[in-house]
Amino acid sequence: MSTLLLAQDFPPMGGGIARLHGEMARHFPRGELVVSTPQDADAPDVDAQFPAEVDRLPVSRGRTKTLPGLLLWSRRATSLARQHRVRFVHCGNVKPAGYPARWVFERCHVPYGIFFHGGDLLSEQHKIRQSRLKRRSARAIFGGAAVLMANSIWTRDLASSVLGELGLDCDGRRLRVVHLGTDPERFRPGIDASEVRRRFDLPDGGAPWLLTVARLDPYKGVDTVIRALPAILERVPGLRYAVAGSGAGREMLEKLAHKAGVAERVRFLGEVSDRDLPALYNVASVYVGASRRAERLDVEGFGISLVEASACGLPVVAGNSGGIPDAVRDGETGLLVAADEPAELASAICRVLTDPPLAERLGRNGRRAVETYYNWDRVVRDLRAIEAEVVAG
């Protein structure tokens, strides 16, 4: 018997949700996981790397959100469940993957679990308050799940609130927290960064680099870091800031850097490949993740880049919002600050940069936390244990 993963987001797509699903496909024992996911032009090269069987739908991600696409996915998922004698379905996204998960449950009596990421729940909460139809579909999908998994305590508490609005049970055995992780063998200190420095024009010269790896969306807080830079430069004159990621917000951030008089100190790298990320973290002295809760239903439910930085031995300074406190242990692996306060952010960054023993301790503790807890082996072990408990029950 095997497990079925319904994943709207899956490699080669980027982002934390796709990363989680890819690591599930990589770490489940060979032959025990089947992945059902939309088509992608680069799929053949990517899928070959996974021991799990990856079954690509004949439609793109956009089409799975249409009624014909949902019917196709639901029927295909049911066929896979019968063919592989599936005992449990992991639903990687609330919607649209929740629809085929519920379909399989009703036709094959296979239990399913939903993984919540934070922003998805904020979106569902907004929809159920605006539409009776959305409320009814959310109640069917959430209510039919045997177990609900959240990536942080904050996401769990939000899920509990949404379940309450839907009039559904939210006891502790049904609603679990499964923190995410990273790969401590790929992300580690001591990686030669000379090639990455040369290619992205990140000179050494002894001056420290701050680093953020994020989409250039407003809630990621890159603007807060830029606003904090003048105060940081007063105490650490040679400092520079590298931002890895793409998005519509780049032009606005570049203008902000010019307005703040720090444009020459900020380097926008664009999209950086997964292959280059471990070396890029090794360029930096401090990792900064100033994410905040945004009005546009955006939030950092956990923050995989935070634990990637810790895996590389970097001290982390991050915004105290959403699920970030579950990824950064305040005073142990990093420092948490008010998510939208440039002065507080600047003070924390300067504290780390000017106190080498503190920076070394935070980085060392972060690396140990990844080796012992924030890693994909532990994540998949937790998911499989929950799955086994549901099936046995």
**DSSP letters for 110-151:** --EEEEE-SHHHHHHHHHHHH-HHHHHHHHHHHHH-SEEEES
CA distances from 11 to 54, 115, 240, 303 (A): 11, 17, 32, 18
Going through the chain in order, the beta strands assigned E by DSSP cover 2-6, 33-37, 53-56, 86-91, 112-116, 147-150, 175-177, 209-213, 240-244, 266-270, 286-289, 316-319, 334-337
Distance between CA atoms of residues 49 and 67, nearest Å:
32
pLDDT the model gives residue 170: 75
Q: How far apart are CA 300 and CA 133, in angstroms?
A: 28
Which are the contacts of 258, defined by CB distance < 8 A and separation ≥ 6?
none
This prediction has a pTM of: 0.92
CA distance to 54, 107, 139, 366, per residue, from 386 (Å):
22, 23, 22, 27
Q: Cβ distance 2 to 84 under 8 Å?
A: yes
pLDDT 10s digit of each residue in the chain, 393 long? 899 999 999 999 888 899 999 999 999 999 999 999 999 988 888 998 999 999 999 999 999 999 999 999 999 999 999 999 999 999 998 989 999 999 999 999 999 999 999 989 998 999 999 999 999 999 999 999 999 999 999 999 999 999 999 999 777 678 999 999 999 999 999 999 999 999 999 998 788 999 999 999 999 999 999 999 999 999 999 999 999 999 999 999 999 999 999 999 999 999 999 899 999 999 999 999 999 987 667 889 999 999 999 999 999 999 999 999 999 999 999 999 998 999 999 999 999 999 999 999 999 999 999 999 999 999 999 999 999 999 998
CB atoms within 10 A of CB 344: 19
Which residue's entry shows tokens 């972060």? 366
Which residue in 170, 145, 23 sits closest to 95, CA to CA? 145
Helix (H) or strand (E) holding 344, with range, is: helix 342-353
Q: What is the C-alpha to C-alpha distance for residues 170 and 175, in angstroms, rounded to an integer?
A: 6
Q: Residue 4 contacts by C-beta under 8 Å, 6 or more apart in sequence?
A: 33, 34, 35, 36, 77, 80, 81, 84, 86, 88, 89, 90, 104, 110
Residue 296 pLDDT: 66
Q: Radius of gyration over alpha carbons of the chain, in Å?
A: 21
* Residue 304 · residue 274 · CB < 8 Å: no
List Cα–Cα distances, 77 to 111, 147, 231, 238, 276, in angstroms. 13, 19, 55, 56, 35
Helix (H) or strand (E) holding 371: helix 356-372
Q: Residue 23 CB: number of other CB atoms within 10 A?
A: 22
As a three-state string, the secondary structure of 42-84 is CHHHHHCCCCCEEEECCCCCCHHHCHHHHHHHHHHHHHHHHHC
Backbone angles phi, psi at 242, to 5 degrees: -105, 135
Structural domains of the chain, with CATH: 2-181+375-392 (3.40.50.2000), 194-372 (3.40.50.2000)
Q: What is the pLDDT of residue 293?
A: 85
Whether residue 208 contacts residue 285, with contact meaning beta carbons closer than 8 Å, is answered with: yes
